[in-house]
Amino acid sequence: MVAGGFAFGLFADRRPFGETFFAQPIVVFAALAGLGLLILRVVLRRPVPDVIPERAMVVGFFLGIAAFLAGNWIGVHFIAGR
């Protein structure tokens, strides 16, 4: 989650998915995280909290959001500033 959030944050200022609300990189990141959990549920054929504790999922998601913000800051101040 941290690596994914950071990667999405690096190019968030360029709006690669479009200008609508659902095309914002943070929304796409959250949707992909949810989709990943759904795929994990289908593949394992058991509830995800049986495999990954709920607390770990929440902490991972919030760390991914924090990494997104850090990546966005780096992307705006260092990469786009070239």
- One DSSP character per residue, 3-37 reads HHHHHHHHTGGG-TT-SSGGGSHHHHHHHHHHHHH
Average pLDDT over residues 60-68: 95
Instruction: Return all residues near 18 (Cβ < 8 A) that are at least 6 apart.
Output: none
Average pLDDT over residues 74-80: 83
Q: What is the pLDDT of residues 13-48, one digit of tens each?
A: 888 888 898 999 999 999 999 999 999 999 999 999
On the question of pLDDT at 82 being above 80, the answer is: no
Higher pLDDT, 80 or 78: 78
Instruction: Return all residues near 67 (Cβ < 8 A) that are at least 6 apart.
Output: 1, 2, 3, 4, 5, 6, 9
Higher pLDDT, 81 or 15: 15
Residue 68's identity, in one-letter code, is F
